[in-house]
Amino acid sequence: MTLRFKQILADGVAECSYLLGDDSAHTCAVVDPRPDVDIYLETARRFGLAITHVFETHIHADFLSGARELVDRLGGQARLHVSAEAGAQYGFDHEPVRDGDEFTFGDMRMKARFTPGHTPEHMSYLLFDADTETPWGVLSGDAFFVDSVGRPDLLGKDETEELAEQLFHTVQDVFMALPDDVIIYPCHGAGSACGPDIGDRMSSTIGYERRFNSYAQINDPETFKQAILGDAPPVPTHYPRTKKVNAAGPEVLRNLPRIPPLTVAQFGKAAEADAQLLDVRDMLDFGAGHVGGSINIGARPELSVWAGWLLDPDKPIYLVLHDDRDLPDVLRLLWRTGFTDFGGYLAGGMAAWREAGQEFAQIPQISVHDLKRAGDLQPLDVRKPAEWKDGHVPHARHAFLGELRNRMTDLERSAPYATYCASGFRASIAASLLKKNGFDRVHNVPGSWKAWQAANYEVEKPS
């Protein structure tokens, strides 16, 4: 018997799913799959395994579940297993899992353990060899992370107090009761907003977390509640929506979302009708020329998260790409946070647009040296509150990117702004949002805070 265990990271949403099984029995399970499920089919085929079980640790809020998609692609050979604890309700066919249920894959066993707090129904899975009674690992879902724990405030104020209490007992009575050498495999890594300050490592041990995880060291429920709620990052706008979709059951697409190529004339008509235009090119290309009214979110893994924050899921998306061959990768990233409705993409990209004699908008790109010398530009910091508190450009204003739409009334539209973030990626998103909403004197700062620090310019900190 050889244990086959594969952790699969979805960059951007920082989501970890797992394929695990036994090659002597040629069976395996997939836990918490993302919607672009080909990677699980390919991995199982490479290991010579059949996927017989698909599990969800809980009803996810941050990414679109791929469990139904994967089960459909398997043609009925696998069943979908979800927690039946705490009265959880689902709008799709499933096999209920309860605390203590066990599943066997050759000489490997998985045992369900009820771990509420992040969500009411949350289930973790202890991993065992053969008939041993001591686990070697635990799939902790969003209940327990490296250097952190899951946040209990995603279901609203009415449930936060009770969930925080449950989470405290989950941490102390379940995870801290495990032996030190048990390996923790969480559902998220650094960059996810499902917990505060999640660590960079992709796994840990109970012993390490017992020594260094500040939340695991708190022995008083009230102190724990104050710490976890005080440290929680802003809640992305797509979380409540995605949780509802995942509970009801995401639509099964059986392939990537469909999107037609559009001519310049067709794309122009959509732009004139105030369609939702998304330009995924690099910030410098976007700044040099883009279709007026476009939002710029570059085709990096973070596209998933910022699309979730800023795009309207009820309006079709019209895409402008750097290269038409990038389309499948862009669709995967958008699918992960629930975007499946596309009006079309501009065939031939901005080159086709320019060559057809169409007008295009621009956003000046300036260096940190230009920003330093400019006396009339208002620096606008769009980083997270914690980043702002660590230091910022002198005399800057702060408006976190995820909340920028709601903060625009606080900004003077005729004033000249220079948006910056850590590297310029988020700053370009912010500049495009401002431009789309009538701020005509907006500039973007590529390099942003990293470049400002590298130039050894003065740093100001909030009082």
For 30, phi then psi, to 5°, come to -120, 135
Question: Which tokens sit at 385?
Answer: 């509150």
Instruction: Please report, for residues 135, 144, 248, 389, 403, the alpha-carbon distance to residue 410 in angstroms, rounded to integers and kept in the order given.
Output: 54, 38, 38, 20, 12
The torsion defined by the Cα of 410, 413, 415 and 419, in degrees rounded to 10, comes to 70
Instruction: Put the strands of the sheet holding 378-381 in their side by side order.
Output: 397-398, 378-381, 417-420, 442-444
Residue carrying structure tokens 């990052």: 233
Stretch 18-38: mean pLDDT, rounded?
A: 96
Stretch 265-276: mean pLDDT, rounded?
A: 96
Q: How far apart are CA 422 and CA 425, in angstroms?
A: 8
The torsion defined by the Cα of 130, 205, 149 and 159, in degrees rounded to 10, comes to 30
3-248 is a CATH 3.60.15.10 domain:
yes
Instruction: Please report, for residues 120, 160, 229, 345, the alpha-carbon distance to residue 223 in angstroms, rounded to integers and kept in the order given.
Output: 21, 15, 10, 51
In this predicted model, what pLDDT tens digit does every residue of 122-139 receive, in sequence order? 999 999 998 899 999 999
Question: Considering the domain 261-355 in this protein, what is its CATH number?
Answer: 3.40.250.10
Q: pLDDT at residue 78 above 70?
A: yes
Q: pLDDT at residue 330 above 70?
A: yes
Domain residue spans of the chain = 3-248, 261-355, 368-454
Percent of the chain with pLDDT over 70: 100
Least confident of 341-345, 372-376, 439-443: 372-376
Q: How far apart are CA 247 and CA 427, in angstroms?
A: 34
For 410, phi then psi, to 5°, come to -85, -10
Instruction: Put the strands of the sheet holding 102-105 in their side by side order.
Output: 102-105, 108-114, 123-129, 137-141, 183-186, 204-205
Stretch 319-336: mean pLDDT, rounded?
A: 98
Q: How far apart are CA 252 and CA 72, in angstroms?
A: 7
Closest CA to 52 of 62, 35, 60, 40: 40
In this predicted model, what pLDDT tens digit does every residue of 290-306 receive, in sequence order? 999 999 999 999 999 99
Q: pLDDT at residue 354 above 90?
A: yes
Closest CA to 144 of 107, 198, 89, 201: 198
In this predicted model, what pLDDT tens digit does every residue of 374-388 receive, in sequence order? 989 999 999 999 999
Q: Please, which pLDDT band fits residue 408 given cuts at 50, 70 and 90?
A: very high
What CATH architecture applies to the domain 368-454?
3-Layer(aba) Sandwich (3.40)
For 81, phi then psi, to 5°, come to -110, 125
Q: Please, which pLDDT band fits residue 1 given cuts at 50, 70 and 90?
A: low
Stretch 253-275: mean pLDDT, rounded?
A: 97
Question: Same CATH topology for 261-355 and 368-454?
Answer: yes
* Number of other residues whose CB lies within 10 A of the CB of residue 42: 10
What is the per-residue pLDDT for 76?
Answer: 82
Half-sphere exposure of residue 332: CA atoms within 13 angstroms, side-chain side: 15
Stretch 278-288: mean pLDDT, rounded?
A: 98
Stretch 190-202: mean pLDDT, rounded?
A: 95
Q: pLDDT at residue 25 above 80?
A: yes
Full 3-state SS string of the chain: CCEEEEEEEECCCCEEEEEEEECCCCEEEEECCCCCCHHHHHHHHHHCCEEEEEECCCCCCCCCCCHHHHHHHCCCCCEEEEECHHHCCCCCCCEEECCCCEEEECCEEEEEEECCCCCCCCEEEEEEECCCCCCCEEEEECCEECCEECCCCCCCHHHHHHHHHHHHHHHHHHHCCCCCCCEEEECECCCCCCCCCCCCCCCEEHHHHHHHCCCCCCCCHHHHHHHHHHHCCCCCCHHHHHHHHHHHCCCCCCCCCCCCEECHHHHHHHHHCCCEEEECCCHHHHHHCECCCCEECCCCCCHHHHHHHHCCCCCCEEEECCCHHHHHHHHHHHHCCCCCCEEEEECCHHHHHHHCCCCCECCCECCHHHHHHCCCCEEEECCCHHHHHCCECCCCEECCHHHHHHHHHHCCCCCCEEEECCCCHHHHHHHHHHHHCCCCCEEECCCHHHHHHHCCCCCECCC
Q: Please, which pLDDT band fits residue 418 given cuts at 50, 70 and 90?
A: very high
Mean pLDDT of the chain: 96
Stretch 436-446: mean pLDDT, rounded?
A: 96
Q: pLDDT at residue 333 above 90?
A: yes
Give this prediction's pTM: 0.95
Q: Please, which pLDDT band fits residue 75 given cuts at 50, 70 and 90?
A: very high
> Which residues make beta-bridge pairs with 113?
124
In this predicted model, what pLDDT tens digit does every residue of 426-438 receive, in sequence order? 999 999 999 999 9
Q: How far apart are CA 74 and CA 319, in angstroms?
A: 31
Q: Please, which pLDDT band fits residue 2 given cuts at 50, 70 and 90?
A: confident
Stretch 320-347: mean pLDDT, rounded?
A: 98
* Number of other residues whose CB lies within 10 A of the CB of residue 50: 15
Stretch 36-43: mean pLDDT, rounded?
A: 98
